[in-house]
Structure 1
Amino acid sequence: MPRTRRCRYPNCHAMVAFPDHYCQQHYEHEAEYLASRQRWARSNDRQYTHKYNTITRYRNEDKRQQYSFYRTRQWSHLRQQVLERDHYLCAYCKVQGIITPAKTVDHIVPIEFDEMLKADIDNLAVICSKCHRLKTGWEQATYGTGQDNELKNVKPINDVSSIVVLMNKG
């Protein structure tokens, strides 16, 4: 007799043969479920995280020092002040007239570009994940930040509304 289990769809009690997770009626959720399991496995894979930390995140002494700043008490206090100042709302979305809740605090001018601004509260803003992704791409193109890039000699832009305009162009 084949092994079976209950369908993963909420309140569905149909039995499903292994290796499937959903019955015929809810089978469209199978691919999404398998993808989420792969994401979870990758994020909890020690080899993957070790490679990320040693090769990407801490690739040189400068990056090691930059990331160690995020584990200090000073950073946690700054972060909390900025979150409360901005009411946990993305500053980049707010400029566009959109209200988006967020918990990430970002340096307006990246610390890789200007180390002196890392503890400046005026250089910090709350940012949502969508804007953070766009801004990171824009920073890499504009400032030359990121892995395998060379820092460019450009004037830093510290106005959120100007950055939003430039971010959305690219």
Structure 2
Amino acid sequence: MGQATEQEFTAFVNARGAALLRVASALAGDRHAGEDLLQSALAKAYARWPRIRGDAEPYVRRILYNDQVSGWRRRGRRPAEVSLDALPDRAAGGHLDHDTAVRLLLQDALRTLPPRQRAVLVLRYLEDLSVEQTAEALGCQVGTVASQASRALAKLRAQVPAFDDAVTRSEALR
């Protein structure tokens, strides 16, 4: 790869790396696994960089989504179930406000979702993609995105009853 191409890749990573890490961490369930996922995706993108035309970010995001979902399939592994009967024991000065506690419960609940459902939620609500854009990114039908999102949200509501209250409050603030 030429020096100019390497500089373009480095500029891309410097400009979009933090946003891509946020998505990778949400998909993988924690920051360390997200860093590994992003590193793998960037390595694949780097190898194909001269052939990538136009905006590279959607290309890298698609690698992230596909690698995470296929990784779970290949290993036959799903995230461990997490009991959500009580608030998590977190070292935060001994006190968690309600919104922080709900956010932590949701983060733990997201780890229990199947990979496709988590990917749909990340794309739809963290990345704010439309149903059509999400379907294109995941290589599936629009109806699949809608049904996976519906099932995932139902599971989150069942595991974290305060979820509906938090969503209602955040929508009221808009």
* Shared fold (TM-score, shorter chain, > 0.5): no
From the two aligned structures, give the one with the greater helix fraction.
2
From the two aligned structures, give the one with the greater strand fraction.
1
Question: What is the TM-score when the length of structure 1 is the normalising length?
Answer: 0.28
